[in-house]
Structure formats: structure tokens, C-alpha cells
Amino acid sequence: MFDIEITNMKQILLFTLFFSLKYSIAQTDSIIKQFDNRKNTLNHNGMIVLSSWAGANIIGSGVGYALTNSYEEKEFYLMNGAWGIINLGIALPGLLSKAKPTPTLYDLQKNQTKIEKLFLANAILDVAYISGGFYLKEYGNNQTDIKKQQMYHGFGNSVIIQGAGLMVFDMAMTILNNRNRKKHLDPFLKKASISFSGNFARLGYRFN
């Protein structure tokens, strides 16, 4: 009688453990999928914004170049159009490519950190672009040739505008990705725990 009760208890414990583990894995997979979708949608929309900005610069610069008689403005539009082509080349691959599903929670954290650092690094680089634009204008002021003055002024104004526009974009993407992580991923990670034993890894989850 006692042996039978012990056997039944073991079966109940194994049964409970199995379904707890199954639920934990299913919940983790669901969290990964949901956050993956939010992350991909957010960054896809970001590439739409960047490609739209690039397209507007290309079209607007073409029209502006054709309509103006000012040499400085023509140089401005030439530089603006060049930046538009570069930005479009950056945005289109991300816009057209299909994001691959993230396989594990570790990969999800790694990719998210990489994205946030990338946008933040780009925002810092944009400050250098803006500074470079002011340098071009200052360099133009020191030129004796009027054409060269106008050229550097046009180039400088374009670089300042493009750098400022990209800085707003990169900072916005940094903030939005950061908020998305804090709202939808960090609360889960605070309750999840991973421990290692020999060649095995165990995922735990605190339900309260």
C-alpha cells in the first residue's frame, strides 16, 4: 500500500513537472515570437521613413537643381541628391528583405542590444556629419574664388541638413527600440532564469 502511494506520487510529480516545463517552453516561444514581430515591425517602419526621406531628397533635389540659377543652390541640391541615393541604398535592403525568426531568447537579447547600439552609434556619427558641414562652410569662407565659396557653402548646408535629419531619425529609432524592449521584453526577462548543470541548460520562470 505504501509503495503504491509513493509510485503514484512520483507519477503525479513527473506529470506536473512535464506540463510545467511544456508550459514554460511554450510561453518562452510565444514571448520570443511576439517581441520578434514587434521589433521587426518597428524597424521595418523605420526603413519606410528613411526611404521616404531619401526619395523626397532625390526628387526635390532634381526639381530644385532644374529650377534654380544659383550656383550655390545647385551645389546644395547635388549634395542633397547624393545623400538621398546613399540613404536609399541603406534603407531598401532592410525594407525589401524578410526578417528571419529569432531561434532563442539569448539570440533575441543579442539582436536587440545590437540594434539599439547601432542606432545610437549612428546618432553619434550624425553629430560628426553636422560638424563636418559647418567645417565646409567655414572652409568656403576662406576661399578667394567665389565659385569655390559657393560650392563649399552649398555642400556644407546640405551636409548640416542631412546630418540633422539622420540624427533625429537615429535618436527616434534608439528611443523607440529601447522603449519596446523595456515594455515587452524586460518584464519577462526579470522573471526568467537560466541555470547550467554539466551539458544541460535549464530555463526557469517565476509566475508571480
Q: Domain residue spans in the chain? A: 31-193
| Range in 47-56, 135-144, 186-195, 197-206 the model is least confident about | 197-206
Q: Does residue 189 register a pLDDT over 90?
A: no
| Range in 5-14, 39-48, 142-151 the model is least confident about | 5-14
Task: Please tell me which residue, 100 or 43, carries the higher pLDDT value.
Answer: 43
Position 15 scores a pLDDT of: 43
Q: Does residue 8 register a pLDDT over 60?
A: no
Position 95 scores a pLDDT of: 85
φ, ψ of residue 200 in degrees (nearest 5) = -115, 150
Asked whether the beta carbons of 122 and 171 are under 8 A apart, the reply is no
Dist CA 86 CA 65 (whole Å): 18
Which whole-number Å values give the CA distances from 203 to 16, 34, 63, in the listed order?
16, 19, 59
**pTM score, whole prediction:** 0.79
Count of CB atoms within 10 A of residue 85's CB?
13
Mean pLDDT, rounded, for 128-157: 96
Distance of alpha carbon 8 from the chain centroid = 53
Q: Does residue 12 register a pLDDT over 80?
A: no
Dist CA 174 CA 184 (whole Å): 16
Asked whether the beta carbons of 191 and 164 are under 8 A apart, the reply is no
φ, ψ of residue 192 in degrees (nearest 5) = -90, 150
